[in-house]
Chain A
Amino acid sequence: MNVIEVKELEKTYYVGDIEVKALRGVTFDIQKSQFSAIMGPSGSGKSTLMHIIGCLDTPSKGEYNLNGENVAKMSDDQLAKIRNKEIGFVFQKFHLLPRNTALENVMLPLKYANIGRLERSEKAKEALAQVGLSDRIDHKPSELSGGQQQRVAIARALVNSPAILFADEPTGNLDSKTGEEVMTLLHKLNNNGQTIVLITHEKDIAVQTQRTIFIRDGKIESDTIN
Chain B
Amino acid sequence: MLAEESLTSAFDAIKANLLRSILTALAIIIGTAAVIALVSIGGSAQKAIENSISDMGSQVLSVVPGQKEKNGVKSAFIPLKLGDVRALENEKNISWKIAPEMRGNKQVKYISENANLPIVGTTSDYFSIYGIEVNQGNVFTENDLINGKKVAIIGSDVAKELGTNKKDLLFKNIVIGDSSYRVIGIAEPKGSGGWDNPDERIFVPVITASERIFGRIWINMIVVKSAGEFSLPQVMIAIERILRRTHDISPGEDNDFRVYDWSEVKQLQKETTNILTTMIAGIASISLLVGGIGVMNIMLVSVTERTREIGLRKALGATQQDILIQFIVEAILLCIIGGLIGVVLGSAIYFSIASYQEWPIVMPLSAIIGSVTFSALVGLFFGIWPARRAAKLDPAVALLYE
Contacts and interface: CB of A to CB of B under 8 A. Distances in A.
Nearest to B315: A89
B313 A108 contact: yes
Interface in A100-123: 100, 108-109, 111-114
Contact of A76 (B1, B308, B319, B399): B319
A56 B316 CA distance: 10
B399 A95 contact: yes
A108 B318 CA distance: 9
B394 A112 contact: no
Contacts of A95: 308, 312, 315, 399
B314 A80 contact: yes
Interface in A66-87: 76-77, 80-81, 83-85
A61 interface: no
Contacts of B312: 95, 97
- What range describes how many residues of A lie at the interface? 20 to 34
A111 B2 contact: yes
Interface of A: 47, 51, 54, 56-57, 76-77, 80-81, 83-85, 89, 91, 95, 97, 99-100, 108-109, 111-114, 156, 160
27 contacts: A47-B400, A54-B315, A56-B315, A56-B396, A57-B396, A76-B320, A80-B318, A81-B317, A81-B319, A83-B316, A83-B317, A85-B317, A91-B399, A95-B315, A95-B399, A97-B312, A99-B16, A108-B313, A108-B316, A109-B316, A111-B5, A112-B313, A112-B316, A112-B318, A112-B322, A114-B2, A156-B316
B261 interface: no
B309 interface: yes
Contacts of A112: 1, 313, 316-319, 322
Contacts of A85: 317
Interface of B: 1-2, 5, 12, 16, 308-309, 312-322, 394-396, 399-400
Contact of A80 (B2, B5, B319, B396): B319
Contacts of A156: 316
Contacts of A51: 396
Contacts, number: 62
Nearest to B397: A57
A81 B318 CA distance: 8
A2 to B, nearest CB: 23
Contacts of B400: 47
Nearest to A100: B12
Contacts of A108: 313, 316
Contacts of B394: 57
Given A81-B317, A85-B317, 5 more contacts: A51-B396, A80-B320, A80-B322, A83-B317, A97-B309
Contacts of B5: 111
Contacts of B316: 83-84, 89, 108-109, 112, 156
Contacts of A54: 315
Contacts of B1: 111-112, 114
Contacts of B318: 80, 112
The 7 closest A-B pairs by CB, nearest first: A84-B317, A112-B317, A51-B396, A80-B319, A57-B396, A109-B316, A56-B396
B14 to A, nearest CB: 11
A112 B319 CA distance: 8
A165 to B, nearest CB: 13
A81 B319 CA distance: 8
